Amino acid sequence: MKKEVMVEVSARHVHLSQEHVDILFGIGYQLTPDKWLSQPGQFLSKERVNVIGSKKTFENVAILGPVRKNSQFELSLTDCRAIGVEGVLRESGYIDDTPGITIETPNGKVLLDRGVIVAKRHIHMTPQDASDFGVEDKQIVKVKVNTDREVIFGDVVVRVHENFALAMHIDTDEANAAFIGKGVIGEVIM
């Protein structure tokens, strides 16, 4: 049996804490879901922010909800170079010792002292998925993708949680290098 997973491309986006939502949009403001994402409870919000680096500003950057404990800005290495910030490869949520950046809206501005990451490629799995695939949380696997530029992605982190849905996430640099668009399936190999 092939161990297949949908490969999804994650473009640059921001996750905000409620404290930062309050500063950027007003006290008690709630992000407005615009489109539900593949991960249960996760959504693309209608709200947008500008992210200001030393070289460039990215305008109209998507915010993914719901709010998180800590704010973070996820982007590709190409984006890091364009905006003028060091690219630090991390799993989402692991923001210690990462660079900061300024986020603004017409209502307010937040200077993040940390939280800029290039997200490690990863696969979301439920415990049942992990059992079916014969893997466990934090295990590193490889994923083969058959496109016009066949590639094997190494160093893919398996993330297991009961609230996840089976999907692999890569950034735009990785997707462009492998000619990955919508509907591409990868095969998990050990």
- Computed over every residue of the chain, the mean pLDDT equals 96
pTM of the predicted structure, to 2 decimals: 0.93
Domain ranges of the chain: 11-119, 121-189
Instruction: Give, for 77, the enclosing helix (H) or strand (E).
Output: helix 77-83
pLDDT confidence of residue 1: 64
Q: For residue range 79-107, what is the model confidence (pLDDT) as tens digits?
A: 999 999 999 999 999 999 999 999 999 99
Residues 26-44 have a mean pLDDT of: 97
Q: For residue range 144-172, what is the model confidence (pLDDT) as tens digits?
A: 999 999 999 999 999 999 999 999 999 99
Q: Is the CATH code 2.40.40.20 the one for domain 121-189?
A: yes
Q: How confident is the model at residue 44 (pLDDT cuts 50, 70, 90)?
A: very high
Q: Which two tokens stand for residue 44?
A: 């693309």
Lowest average pLDDT, out of 11-15, 20-24, 135-139, 144-148, goes to: 144-148
CB 73 within 8 A of CB 93: no
Q: How confident is the model at residue 2 (pLDDT cuts 50, 70, 90)?
A: confident
CB 88 within 8 A of CB 98: yes
